Amino acid sequence: MRTRRETLKQGAAVAGLLAATGLFPRYASAAWNSNAFEAKTVADVMKAFGAGAPAASTAVTLTAPDIAENGAVVPMGVATTLTGVKHLLVLVEKNPSPLVAKFDVSDAVDANFLTRAKMGQSSDVYAVAITTDGKALFSKKEVKVTLGGCGG
């Protein structure tokens, strides 16, 4: 019977070996698109994903409140009925980093996601579906953020 200390020591050794061989960090950051998350505009986010200018579509839906009383936790949902979608994105235009969330989609996944976003001010919010052939389709909604629920 092993003690907890021995188990932790052995786990740390395995993690150290994975990190030393370069396996652990490479897999952990393989899906990270730093250019997209560091982009300052919606157009730069689209460029980072290799997509052109998005076109409006009724097949992409965005659910968000008309007025968010607390900009720190604004609930949002994104969904699509399109086939061949590779990514679903949630973008807040006036945030310092517009890309709020990226969801990878495949045929095995129901393309319907919920998240919460931080919004510093009232802004247009976009739900963008990027297809496997590089097309970008979007839905947009203006979300007003009140300061402390007092209007804004």
What is the overall mean pLDDT for the chain? 84
Q: What is the pLDDT of residue 32?
A: 64
Nearest-angstrom CA–CA distance, 68 and 13? 47
Which domains are seen in the chain, by residue range? 1-30 (no CATH), 38-145 (2.60.40.2470)
The tokens describing 85, both together, are 């979608």
Q: Determine the Cα–Cα distance for residues 10 and 126; give it in Å rounded to an integer.
A: 46
Per-residue pLDDT at 11 exceeds 90: no
Residue 149 predicted with pLDDT over 60: no
pLDDT at 24: 53
**For the residues 146-150, what does the mean pLDDT come to?**
58
Task: Note the pTM of the prediction, 2 decimals.
Answer: 0.75
**Residue in 132, 124, 127 with CA at minimum distance from that of residue 114:** 127
Q: What is the mean pLDDT of residues 68-90?
A: 92
